[in-house]
Amino acid sequence: MKKWELKSNDNLQINDGQFSELINILLLNRGISSEKDREEFLHPDINKVTPKSVQIDAEELKKTLVRLQKAFTQKEKIIVFGDYDVDGITGSAILWETLNALGFLVMPYIPHRVEEGYGLSIKGIDNVKKQNSDLKLIITVDNGIVANEAVDYANKLGIDVIITDHHMPEDDEKRPKALAIVHTTKLCGAGVAWLLSKELNITFASKKYEIDKDTHLELAVLGTIADLVPLTGANRTIVKAGMDNLKNTQRSGLKAIFEEAGVNPQKIGTYEVGFIIGPRLNAAGRIESAMDSLRLLCTHNSTRAYSLAAKLGQTNRERQELTKKTVQHALETIKSKNLHSKKIIITGHETYNPGVIGLVAGKLVEEFYRPAIVLSIGDKSAKASVRSIPGVNIIDFLRRFSDMYINVGGHKMAAGFTVSLENMSGLQKQMEDLAQEMITQSLLQRTLKVDLTLPFGYLSLNLFDAIQQLAPFGMENPEPVFITKGVYVEDMKLLGKDKNHLKLRLSNDGVGTLEAIGFGMGELSESLTIGDKIDIAYSLDENHWNGSVELQLKLKDARVV
């Protein structure tokens, strides 16, 4: 059962369709109180997103541009060394296309998840060196901030490394000895690459920034949404400013993948990117090679684009099936060993594909609401993906055991590590003990944060439209959730192939009726009957059907009064 946490107890008055008071309450609930912050949130300016505004070190940026000038003058080969997720792929596309267009000798490289692992590695450096014997410069994208050993190795080979990343460094004293580090935690990896590409164009092409001519902003939008970074500040500005660019993209690859996925470009929002487009771009890097996703983004050949989009769609379906089987196996293991009684779930198997263990960890968090670690166990070591819950900073937790890993990195909600098999059982015991000590029972209580209580009669399409001022919604800027008390269940249906979605028709003392849909809430039907009086928690949505548009409620929870 979820705990409903009400953020505001204000008695809202809406008169003549004026929603300013509601918007003010919603902004206050998101920590936005000053007139300046309110204006920047509602009307963000992409031109104000600069290296300085996101706290990128000016000296490091200068060193980067000076080194690239040398590379250009001396016609040195450059490798853009990316990552295999959407953020890394889009960021790599941005930086490679920019350098290539400016006349640099540059090639992109995405490491293979299974063969090389995450980020800049000794094996990855050896592989690019084999293909480019005269290599003098590597620029990382969305990785590198904890790649101390790999950077040292590159330096020994006479290869300079410029790191562009957004992940959390261990601490400033332990940063890699790279030639330059372009780093901020205020953007995703693609966002950092996008800002650097702007600086490159200003420096080497004297280009003034024009948003309508920016074909890279749409890629930064994809990376920002898919990487689940907070949609506040500069991230929000990038997504809000670039969404029209994405909807109207002329990229053959994006148009092909929209068509393959059955997505109307003009209807694209954070949901479509996060749950439909993003997984397709991610799929190749999970179970094959992410280079196909990069090729899709960069190709100018529409025939090639449609072929790659079809391949990614098929790969995504295979990934879905593999994830489903792995989740089922993990659930059976956890329940048979009673692992869900612990405050952190740690499970793994030799058959688990390292490309899906992050997705499996996420499913386990949904199921048991506690941090989850899922391991793909190899001959000598195990790769782990970790997902957390609000209130448990998982990267800080993991770094308590830094001396036991081969490598570790990530964010407060998602991370990964590699551990030798000889350290694995000892590490598990220490983690379970620390979790038992530091994770309180209250943190394991599912909590639904609710913005405000609203009367049924206030719900309208005009209200929905007013709330869209706060979009795009995502991490740290959630879709507003409301409570309405004392509504009646007029009708009830179960939908979907597995009958796991709940549809209700609700009324409230002569005010009229509204339909509500609860995705994945089919089990709730067992505790409801037609005629029940209930309190509901929900967000607002539009239902487009047969050319008409109606207000629809997206149920988050319901309680019989």
pLDDT of the residue at 13: 73
Which three-class secondary structure state does DSSP give residue 555?
strand
Note whether residue 298 is domain-resident. Answer: no
Quick: pLDDT tens for 120-146.
999 999 999 999 999 999 999 999 999
Residues 379 and 492 in one domain: no
Which three-class secondary structure state does DSSP give residue 541?
strand
Residue type, 433: D
Q: Are the C-beta atoms of 19 and 466 separated by less than 8 Å?
A: yes
Note whether residue 107 is domain-resident. Answer: yes
Note whether residue 76 is domain-resident. Answer: yes
pLDDT of the residue at 12: 76
Note whether residue 288 is domain-resident. Answer: no
Query: 172-176, 266-270, 384-388 — which is least confidently predicted?
Result: 172-176
Q: Are the C-beta atoms of 334 and 372 separated by less than 8 Å?
A: no
Residues 57 and 190 in one domain: yes
Residues 342 and 457 in one domain: no
CATH value at residue 512: 2.40.50.460
Which of 212, 231, 265 is the C-terminal boundary of a domain? 212
81 Cβ contact list (under 8 Å, min separation 6):
109, 111, 120, 124, 128, 138, 139, 140, 141, 143, 144
How many Cβ atoms sit within 10 Å of the Cβ of residue 493?
13
pLDDT of the residue at 59: 98
pLDDT of the residue at 512: 85
pLDDT of the residue at 170: 78
pLDDT of the residue at 16: 65
Query: 79-83, 324-328, 435-439, 540-544 — which is least confidently predicted?
Result: 540-544
Residues 97 and 59 in one domain: yes
Q: What is the pTM of this model?
A: 0.93
Q: What whole-number distance in Å separates Cα of residue 357 and Cα of residue 353?
A: 7
CATH value at residue 80: 3.90.1640.30
Note whether residue 551 is domain-resident. Answer: yes
Residues 472 and 437 in one domain: no
Residues 489 and 512 in one domain: yes
Note whether residue 278 is domain-resident. Answer: no
Residues 512 and 536 in one domain: yes
Which of 412, 444, 476 is the C-terminal boundary of a domain? 444
Residues 134 and 106 in one domain: yes
Total domains in the chain come to: 3
Quick: pLDDT tens for 357-386.
999 999 999 999 999 999 999 999 999 999
User: Tokens at residue 252, please?
Assistant: 């053959």
Residues 59 and 84 in one domain: yes
Confidence category of residue 18, pLDDT binned at 50, 70, 90: confident
Residues 114 and 144 in one domain: yes
Residues 403 and 357 in one domain: yes
Quick: pLDDT tens for 203-259.
999 989 999 999 999 999 999 999 999 999 999 999 999 999 999 999 999 999 999
Note whether residue 262 is domain-resident. Answer: no
Quick: pLDDT tens for 293-344.
999 999 999 999 999 999 999 999 999 999 999 999 999 999 999 999 999 9
Residues 68 and 158 in one domain: yes
Q: Which residues pair with 420 in a beta bridge?
A: 381
Note whether residue 193 is domain-resident. Answer: yes
DSSP 217-240: HHHHHHHHHHTT--SSHHHHHHHH
Which of 212, 227, 243 is the C-terminal boundary of a domain? 212
Range of the domain at 94: 48-212
